Structure 1
C-alpha cells in the first residue's frame, strides 16, 4: 500500500470542496437568473372601461336618465350600484349599505353615481 502524507490528503480535500462549491454556485446562478427573468418582469394590466354585462349597463342607463353621472372612481354619494356575489342583477344601495355589504364580502361595488 502506498501511504500518502496528510498534506496531500488535505490538498485533495480542498480541491474537491472548491469544485463542489463552484458547481453549486453555477447551478444556483442559473436557477436564480431563469426565475428572475420570468417572475421579475411586470405584466401590463388592461382595464376595460366598457361592460358587456347588460344588468350593469341597464342600471347605469337608468341612473344617468335620472340626471346622475356614474363612475368607477369612489365618491361620497347615496346612489351606489352594487352586484352581489353569484348574481347577475345590480342593486341600487346607499353608500352605507354598500360599504357594509362590501365589508361582509357579499359582493362588490360596481359604480358610484353622483
Structure 2
C-alpha cells in the first residue's frame, strides 16, 4: 500500500466514526425525549391556594404572636402541620404532630418556639 492509500483509509475511518457517533446521538436523543415526554414531571403551578402561601401566612401569624419559626426540629407546643391532600396548615402541639406524622396523616412543616435571649 502506498501512503495515499493510508490517507484514504484514514479518511474513511473518520467518516465512519462520525456517522456512527451522529447516529448514536440521534438514537439517544429520541430515547431521552420519548422517556421524558411520557414520564416527565408536570410543570408546577403556584397560586394563591398553594400550601406555601398558607404556610407563609401561618408563620407570619405565629411570628406576630412573638414566636420564632424554623424548620429545625425543636421541642415546642406550636407545630405547623400540613395534612395530606390539603392546602391548609394546622397548628398542633408537639405530641399531636408526632402522632399525626407517625400515622402518616401529613407532615410537620415548621416548629415555632419562644425566642431565647442571648446569654450576657
Counterpart for residue 62 of structure 1? 61
Alignment length (residue pairs): 64
Match of 1:112, SS state, is strand
**Residue 52 of structure 1, CA deviation:** 7.5
Q: Write out aligned runs for 1:32-43 (5 A).
A: none
Larger radius of gyration: 1
Match of 2:5 in 1: none
Distance 1:52 1:95, change over 3 A: closer
Matches within 5 A, 1:1-114: 53-114=52-113
TM-score when normalising by structure 1: 0.54
Residue 53 of structure 1: how far off its partner (Å): 1.4
Distance in 1 (CA, whole Å) between partners of 2:99 and 2:70 is 20
**Alpha-carbon distance change, 52 to 98 in structure 1, aligned in 2, over 3 angstroms:** closer
- Distance in 1 between the 2:51 and 2:111 partners? 18
Query: What is the RMSD computed on CA atoms of the aligned residues?
Result: 1.5
Change (3 A) 1:52 1:102: closer
Which consecutive residues of structure 1, in runs of 5 or more, have no partner in the other structure?
1-50
What SS does the corresponding residue of 2:108 show, helix, strand or coil? strand
